[in-house]
Amino acid sequence: MSVSASTISKAVRIDKHGGPEELKLVDVEVGEPGPGEIRIRHKAIGLNFIDIYQRSGLYQLPMPLQMGMEASGVIEAVGEGVSHLQVGDRAAYASQPPGSYCELRVMPAKCVCKLPDAISFETGAAMMLKGLTAQYLLRRTLPQGGLQAGDFILFHAAAGGVGLIACQWARALGLQLIGTAGSDEKCALAKQMGAAHVINYSTEDFVARVKEITGGKGVKVVYDSVGKDTFDRSLDCLSPFGLMASFGNASGPVAPFSPGILGPKGSIYVTRQTLFSHITTRENTQAMADELFDMVVSGKVEIRIDQRFASADVALAHRSMEERKTTGCSILTL
């Protein structure tokens, strides 16, 4: 991407919901930040499944829509009332509203965090949405009595961007993470990155394997971003009073179900989580980010960027994610 003037930015936009072919690279005007806003020039941009949900129409948003939920870059201008960021700061974010697929943007400052010097721009762009998601799941979305070292948890899509971070974070917490993935290669990657046990759900019955691994007791919590294909059977993996934490729909949305089924399965709990409920305040966002930054800088969590796409190849990037051809994190390069 190249910039012809300080107020013009290349950006990826859709004019209607649909497939990857709807993603268009366009010129947009970028003005000055207002109160509570900043202007940031991006260095790298994160790619996430939520981008696909928004593009396809699973999540309905007003059109035209500038795509993208996370990025890193350098602060160019600061609006009135913003005190935690200054011009020239390295920064990264996962934030509403969408719009990160661009060179330059004005956006709310509350979810933008200073990026430690020890973390590169590419890592910063790849880690914010997925890393903050792993943080709120393992640290804030907990079953009755919480989680202690040695407890079993089930994490679907363990070789994805969130999954590989969660594998490492769970290992650091002493948890026995059982990770599922759709191929032996992805299972091996999850095991390498900290999963205590792995299950190839394309060739194995994951419910039976979970019961075998846990001595028939089941797990305290299931973290599920797959959705339709795994939800029902995941309920059968839980121990009594266990927690089913749904946080995505990679295979499609979960069908409606009767709460009455939860009692006979052990009076289990079900929750549907989203990152954006957790980062509604500047204080929450910073506290979560500080814990994430500490895990990465300490080396306890490595952010794997397994795919890099040029911005002009954003449609290919979306197809690769939809076709389950990616592992770890994916970014757009500028």
pLDDT score, position 56:
95
CATH number (domain holding residue 229): 3.40.50.720
In terms of domains, do 240 and 215 share one?
A: yes
Does residue 95 sit within a domain?
yes
pLDDT score, position 334:
85
In terms of domains, do 106 and 186 share one?
A: no
Does residue 187 sit within a domain?
yes
Q: Are the CB atoms for 319 and 136 separated by under 8 Å?
A: no
Does residue 136 sit within a domain?
no
Residue 115: CA atoms inside 13 Å, Cβ hemisphere, count? Answer: 27
Cis omega (within 30 of 0) for bond into 97: yes
Q: Residues for the chain: how many in total?
A: 334
Q: Are the CB atoms for 196 and 178 separated by under 8 Å?
A: yes
Does residue 249 sit within a domain?
yes
In terms of domains, do 207 and 163 share one?
A: yes
pLDDT score, position 167:
98
Domain that holds residue 228: 142-272
**Residue finishing a domain among 272, 300, 318:** 272
pLDDT score, position 4:
39
In terms of domains, do 149 and 126 share one?
A: no
User: For the CA atoms of 19, 245, 200, 185, what is the dihedral angle to 10 degrees?
Assistant: 60
Does residue 263 sit within a domain?
yes
In terms of domains, do 226 and 286 share one?
A: no
Does residue 14 sit within a domain?
yes
In terms of domains, do 195 and 258 share one?
A: yes
Structure token pair of residue 302? 């490595």
Whole-angstrom distance, CA of residue 12 vs CA of residue 67: 6
In terms of domains, do 266 and 167 share one?
A: yes
In terms of domains, do 165 and 266 share one?
A: yes
Longest dimension (CA), the chain: 64
In terms of domains, do 148 and 267 share one?
A: yes
In terms of domains, do 267 and 285 share one?
A: no
Whole-angstrom distance, CA of residue 239 vs CA of residue 211: 10
**Residue finishing a domain among 272, 288, 319:** 272
pLDDT score, position 176:
98
Tell me the three state secondary structure of residue 29.
strand
Does residue 137 sit within a domain?
no
H/E/C letters for each residue in 219-274? EEEEEECCCCCCHHHHHCCEEEEEEEEECCCCCCCCCCCCHHHHCCCCCCEEEECC
Q: Are the CB atoms for 197 and 158 separated by under 8 Å?
A: no
**Residue finishing a domain among 223, 252, 272:** 272
Cα radius of gyration rounded to whole Å, the chain: 20
In terms of domains, do 306 and 225 share one?
A: no
Task: Kindly report, residue by residue over 257-295, the tens digit of the pLDDT.
Answer: 999 999 999 999 999 999 999 999 999 999 999 999 999
pLDDT score, position 6:
61
pLDDT score, position 277:
96
CATH number (domain holding residue 97): 3.90.180.10
Instruction: For the chain, list residues with pLDDT below 50.
Output: 1-5
Does residue 135 sit within a domain?
no
Whole-angstrom distance, CA of residue 203 vs CA of residue 193: 21
In terms of domains, do 288 and 186 share one?
A: no
- Chain-centroid distance, C-alpha 154: 17
Please state the pTM of the whole predicted model. Answer: 0.93
Total number of domains constituting the chain = 2
